[in-house]
A and B are shown apart, each in its own frame.
Chain A
Amino acid sequence: MTARQHPLADRVALVTGATQGIGRAIAERLARDGASVAVNGLVHDERMDSVVTATSGVPAPADASDRVAVQQMVRGVEETLGTVDVLVVNHAYMSMGRLVDYDLDDWWKVVDTNLGGAFHLVQAVLPGMLRAGSGRIVLVSSEWGVTGWPEATAYAASKAGIISLTKTLGRELAPKGVIVNAVAPGVIDTPQLEVDARAAGVTREQVIKEYARDIPMRRVGRPDEIAAAVALLSDPRMSALVGQVVQVNGGSTRTRA
């Protein structure tokens, strides 16, 4: 009964980009499943405190693209809560633009934050997981990492890179007890949609309606629907999913990854 209700009891989970949207939903779900949650975001602000309160977790601010900051943050979490049992790499930076016009520094900022950040985080938590002989790593990719998208070259590359990183680490680390998988969300109702709406000069409701038209299920997803997939991949009872990409997108890609 306890395993069913609280599969993550006595486990420590670190969720990056957890101060809003999908990350917040993941942090809250893993907390509900029994985990002690380290709530990461770029800075320690009121939003972070609100998630920390909601999850009874601890704040763990750090810029994921800053290798030294990531290492210090993980060390801090290990000192406060113990070895990280579950790492969820969810943070992301996004910008868009035509490839020929794209500001080169900004292009690399997307890749180095999303894909590079994943690399720094995995390296920072791995020594503890390998000592324990067990661990779960869930990397949040994107539907666009599977399909590509016009004017999203950096983002799609970073998210496709996360898929290949997941597959490789799945193979490399499963023999050592560390299970690595990815979740690739489709269009989810998060603050990012406000950004999309502003960029298109329409309302949030209009942009949701437009996205929903192109999704077989005729709606956009909710953050808790991504969190549920992350919970499955974090569940210590489930080891047989290895190096997989779970696509949660209302039927847009249907098994393409």
Chain B
Amino acid sequence: MSGVAIVTGAASGIGAAIAAELSDRGWQVAGIDLRPSDWDLGLTADVADAASVADAVRVVERDLGPVQAVVSAAGHYAIIEVTDITPEQWHTMLRVHLGGLANLCRAVLPAMSARGSGSIVAITSELAIGGGDSDAHYAAAKGAVIGLVRSLAAEVAGSGVRVNGVAPGPTDTPLIGPDSPWRDPAYLATLPLRRLVAPEEVALAVAYVIEEATFMTGEILSPNAGAVI
């Protein structure tokens, strides 16, 4: 299976690993990121901006053809105690993660529904399921992503479009700095797998959902090293 796939956040980290995995499997990959990325198409856009996302999707359709799969991986993380989260930080977190997914879905769904096939994958987080600590805006945004996935999955299932999520645990990417508590050996010792998730493992899960999970929708896969079971 292959075709055209859009990956947001494709310039680095988990998004880049997903783009690489899909590319290796023969997909034409269009990256959408704040920064340029080096895939078949590397578009710059802010996923929080609906018009920019719609424009980018139109460019992908024009240059590469109909889009069979989209992965919403763009995002950012911050450790802030809830009393210190500013309204702006709250707003941005929701607009990027939940809005980024909603904007992408709204842009690609009409064509997918008309063709009667398509796969949408949202990258959410272990913290949306188990909750975190001092990252309430992030957990809230990622939890909202799961709610959107479950509802949209039911809404479009009859049209042949599948909507699923992948909820990684702490993953070894630049999103987690060298001094991050997620790299603390004492924390890693609490994980059943005793190590961070590799971005390539998240990418394998995403590729499975797109290529092989043809009877799965509304489901969240959790490659999280056992952080939330």
Q: Is the CB of B226 within 8 A of A242?
A: yes
Mask, B173-203, CB within 8 Å of A = 1, is 0000000000000000000111001101110
A244 to B219, CA, bound (A): 12
Q: Is the CB of B221 within 8 A of A254?
A: no
Measured between C-beta atoms, what is the minimum distance from A171 to chain B in Å?
5
Given A171-B192, A240-B202: A254 touches B217 (CB 8 Å cut-off): yes
A225 in the interface (beta carbon within 8 A):
yes
Mask, A156-178, CB within 8 Å of B = 1, is 00000000000100110011000
B31 in the interface (beta carbon within 8 A):
no
B150 in the interface (beta carbon within 8 A):
yes
B213 in the interface (beta carbon within 8 A):
yes
Q: Is the CB of B218 within 8 A of A255?
A: yes
Given A221-B215, A254-B154: A232 touches B205 (CB 8 Å cut-off): yes
Q: Is the CB of A248 within 8 A of B154?
A: no
Other-chain contact of B158, A167, A218, A221 (Cβ < 8 Å): A218
Q: Is the CB of B221 within 8 A of A237?
A: no
Interface size class of B (residues with CB under 8 A): 35 or more
For B226, what are the chain A residues with a Cβ–Cβ distance below 8 Å?
Answer: 170-171, 174, 242-243
Q: Is the CB of B204 within 8 A of A238?
A: yes
Given A174-B193, A225-B214: A244 touches B229 (CB 8 Å cut-off): yes
Please provide the chain B residues from 79 to 135 with a CB less than 8 Å away from any CB of chain A in the complex.
Answer: none
Q: Is the CB of A247 within 8 A of B219?
A: yes
A76 in the interface (beta carbon within 8 A):
no
For B193, give the chain A residue with the smallest CB separation. A174
Q: Total A-B residue pairs with C-beta atoms closer than 8 Å?
A: 129
Given A225-B214, A254-B219: A240 touches B192 (CB 8 Å cut-off): no
For B209, give the chain A residue with the smallest CB separation. A232
Q: Is the CB of B192 within 8 A of A248?
A: no
Interface centre among A235, A241, A250 (most CB of B within 10 A): A241
A229 to B205, CA, bound (A): 10
For A241, what are the chain B residues with a Cβ–Cβ distance below 8 Å?
Answer: 201, 205, 221-224
Measured between C-beta atoms, what is the minimum distance from B97 to chain A in Å?
17
Q: Is the CB of A244 within 8 A of B217?
A: no
For B204, what are the chain A residues with a Cβ–Cβ distance below 8 Å?
Answer: 232, 235, 237-238
Other-chain contact of A170, B158, B192, B221 (Cβ < 8 Å): B192
Please provide the chain A residues from 224 to 253 with a CB less than 8 Å away from any CB of chain B in the complex.
Answer: 225, 228-229, 231-232, 235, 237-244, 246-251, 253
B78 in the interface (beta carbon within 8 A):
no
Q: Is the CB of B154 within 8 A of A216?
A: yes
A222 in the interface (beta carbon within 8 A):
yes
B225 in the interface (beta carbon within 8 A):
yes
Q: Is the CB of A254 within 8 A of B208?
A: no
Q: Name A's interface SS.
A: loop
Q: Is the CB of A243 within 8 A of B229?
A: yes
For B216, what are the chain A residues with a Cβ–Cβ distance below 8 Å?
Answer: 225, 229, 246-251
For B193, what are the chain A residues with a Cβ–Cβ distance below 8 Å?
Answer: 174-175, 239-240, 242
For A69, what are the chain B residues with a Cβ–Cβ distance below 8 Å?
Answer: none
For A216, give the chain B residue with the smallest CB separation. B157
Q: Is the CB of B157 within 8 A of A240?
A: no
A76 to B101, CA, bound (A): 51
A170 to B146, CA, bound (A): 23
For B161, give the chain A residue with the smallest CB separation. A217
Measured between C-beta atoms, what is the minimum distance from A240 to chain B in Å?
4
For B192, what are the chain A residues with a Cβ–Cβ distance below 8 Å?
Answer: 170-171, 174-175, 242-243
16 extra interchain contacts, Cβ-Cβ under 8 A, other than A216-B217, A254-B150? A217-B157, A217-B162, A218-B157, A218-B158, A228-B208, A229-B208, A229-B213, A237-B201, A241-B222, A241-B224, A243-B226, A244-B222, A244-B229, A246-B216, A251-B217, A255-B220
In the complex, 11 of the A-B residue pairs with CB atoms within 8 angstroms, ordered by the A residue number, are: A216-B158, A217-B162, A219-B215, A229-B208, A235-B204, A240-B202, A242-B192, A247-B219, A251-B153, A254-B218, A255-B165
